[in-house]
């Protein structure tokens, strides 16, 4: 399984914003039953290192939003990635190969 291979090779962090968006979108679009959404959200937090969102994260997200014209939610994810020295960020919303800071 690809996820298992990634976990073995890299430390993977996930922001609270990612978990929140997963839950909100999956429920709103009725992609999965509520119980499955809850189960997967809990698994994400067990498998991946959940980051902490602080005042610094929010300030950084506001700066990213202003400088790059991203949505606030995407900027929160980017701010969290930068704070955790992430080399890669997987997203459906950003350009492939784009570099931030």
Domain that holds residue 28: 2-83
Number of domains in the chain: 1
Please report which residue ranges of the chain form alpha helices under DSSP H: 2-9, 16-28, 34-47, 55-68, 72-83
**pLDDT tier at 99 (50, 70, 90 boundaries)?**
confident
Residue 91 lies in a domain: no
Rounded distance between C-alpha atoms, residue 35 and residue 72, angstroms: 28
Residue 88 lies in a domain: no
Residue 101 lies in a domain: no
Query: CB–CB of 15/80 below 8 Å?
Result: yes
Residue 61 lies in a domain: yes
What is the tens place of the pLDDT at every residue in 17-67? 999 999 999 999 999 999 999 999 999 988 889 999 999 999 999 999 999
Residue 40 lies in a domain: yes
Residue 75 lies in a domain: yes
């Amino acid at each position: 399984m690809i996820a298992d291979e990634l976990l073995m090779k890299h430390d993977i962090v996930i922001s609270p914003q990612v978990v929140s968006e997963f839950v909100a979108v999956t429920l709103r679009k009725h992609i999965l039953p509520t119980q499955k959404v809850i189960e997967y959200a809990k698994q994400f937090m067990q498998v991946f290192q959940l980051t902490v969102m602080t005042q610094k994260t929010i300030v950084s997200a506001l700066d990213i939003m202003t400088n790059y014209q991203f949505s606030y939610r995407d900027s929160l994810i980017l701010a969290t990635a930068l704070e955790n020295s992430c080399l890669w960020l997987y997203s459906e919303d950003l350009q492939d190969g784009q570099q931030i800071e």
